[in-house]
Amino acid sequence: MSLPFIDLQAQRLRIETEISDAVLRVVAGGRYVLGPEVGELEKQLAAWCGAKHSVSCANGTDALALPLMAWGVGPGDAVFCPSFTFVATAQVVPWMGASPVFVDIHADTYNMDPASLEAAIARVKAEGKLTPKVVIAVDLFGQPADYPAIRAICDREGLKLIADTAQGFGCTLNGQHPSDWADIATTSFFPAKPLGCYGDGGAIVTNDDWLAERVESLRVYGKVTPTDAAERNFHHDPKYLSLRVGMNSRLDTIQAAILLEKLKIFADEIDQRQRVATRYNAGLGEHVRRVPTVIDGGKSVWAQYVIEHDNRDGLQAHLSAQGIPTAVYYPVPIHMQDFAAPYAPPAGTLPVTEDASRHVIALPMHPYLGEADQDRIIDAIRGFNG
């Protein structure tokens, strides 16, 4: 029998009535775009992170692009980011006309290595072609990046810090959220994310008043903000006075209503994901090249449970033959993708990234993975002699 990789239906059945009622309320209410549920969700997302502001948008990619637009990042600017992440993290940079500069990761956490970040900044400064502007740290597979170290580097170098927490929304480090260190944290509500909706969605969280207002303006074509309006005599709908080039990036009200219901069970789901990860670690620790390590003081939301194996592709075929789905995040590091050719780092700069891409394999992970199914997965891996 085939197992699901992520069991979204089990979650849906848990809160089926609540979700159906919430969706129907929006349908009956008729405020389909930026309706009251959107504002309520933004309030609750900010509260979840103990932050001042949250602004929702259409997806996690726009959430990354919006602060870059707000800061005016453009041609000649360097944005430092990992190469071992989903392509969106890096693609937003050339979208702005700026250049991604790829940074290596820690072998044990897969998150940005602060020493590699320092080396990349020094290299860019020595070359003198680009101006260092922004760092994008990623909470890969659900665990927080090394924010204290990365923030210290950003402060010393005068750089802005974005926490791309698309996979890690809800994670903490020493009890603090990524938005406590970063100028802005961004997330995605893609259905497979730990906090996902039933389509596309995204949001930012920030303590920066100016930035929150700018992002809100930019997501609606650069509309006039309350601060702008106070300086002008404009009393019509703010979207009809456009002060800067923005975009259309809104969260559907139906998706906000669904997320409000999902937020109610999110803390419990994170605990359940931790239960699954702890059992995997205990069952597999001796039998594979590497099981995940979480940074000291870190709490992961386990978007993925990723192990390493010397014969990764053989293991994947072995599990697939037994109806056990797996996935490889990420088989091709971003600096080796065609679109990134103009930004390729010097050869040998990202050895940990390249090694990880050859060995990682993600196992089924979701809050509803029962012990019998998990034991079947663990036994199948232990029985592989490849």
Ligand X SMILES: Cc1ncc(COP(=O)(O)O)c(C=O)c1O
Q: Residue numbers of the site for ligand X (CB under 6 A)?
A: 59-61, 85-86, 88-89, 138, 164, 166-167, 188, 190, 200, 202
Nearest residue to 277 (alpha-carbon basis) of 308, 316, 298, 306? 306
The answer to whether 293 touches 109, Cβ cutoff 8 Å, is yes
Q: How far is the CB of 190 from ligand X (least distance, A)?
A: 4
∠ Cα 133 95 338 (to 5°): 105
d(CA 139, CA 2): 30
Q: By C-beta, is 61 or 349 nearer to ligand X? A: 61
DSSP line for 98-162: -EEEEE-B-TTT-SB-HHHHHHHHHHHHHH-SSEEEEEEEE-GGG----HHHHHHHHHHHT-EEE
Q: 316: phi > 0 → left, psi -120 to 50 → alpha, else beta; which?
A: alpha
Do residues 196 and 209 touch, judged by C-beta distance below 8 A? no
Cis peptide upstream of residue 280 (ω within 30 degrees of 0): no
Pick from 7, 11, 3, 9: nearest CA to 377: 3
CB 58, min distance to ligand X, A: 8
Shortest Cβ 304–ligand X spacing (Å): 10
| Closer residue to ligand X (CB): 109 or 225 | 109
Task: For ligand X, give the closer residue by CB, 59 or 255.
Answer: 59
Q: How far is the CB of 193 from ligand X (least distance, A)?
A: 7
Tokens of residue 158, six digits: 């005068």
**CB closer to ligand X out of 60 and 367:** 60
Shortest Å, Cβ 85 to ligand X? 5
Closest approach, Cβ 173 to ligand X, in A, equals 17
Q: How far is the CB of 90 from ligand X (least distance, A)?
A: 9
Residue among 139 and 216 whose Cβ is closer to ligand X: 139
Determine the 3-state secondary structure of 228 from DSSP.
helix
DSSP state of 327: B
Q: List 82's β-bridge partners, or say none.
A: 103
Whole-number Å distance between alpha carbons of 112 and 267? 26
| Residue placing its CB nearer to ligand X in the complex, 86 or 368 | 86
Measured from the CB atom, the residue of 187 and 225 that comes closer to ligand X is 187
Are 361 and 315 in contact by the 8 Å Cβ rule? The answer is yes
Nearer to ligand X, 81 or 378 (CB): 81
Name the minimum Å distance from CB 162 to ligand X.
Answer: 10
Q: Which residue is nearest to ligand X (CB)?
A: 60
Is residue 352 a contact partner of residue 115, using CB atoms and an 8 Å limit?
A: no
**Does residue 361 contact residue 309 with C-beta atoms inside 8 Å?**
yes
Nearer to ligand X, 58 or 101 (CB): 58
136, 97, 89, 68: which is closest to 337 by C-alpha? 89
Q: Which is nearer to ligand X, 164 or 183 (CB)?
A: 164
| CB 58 within 8 Å of CB 200 | yes
Tell me how far, at minimum, the Cβ of 125 lies from ligand X, in Å.
27
Give the integer Cα–Cα distance in Å for 308 and 292.
9
Q: Report, in Å, the least distance between residue 123 CB and ligand X.
A: 24
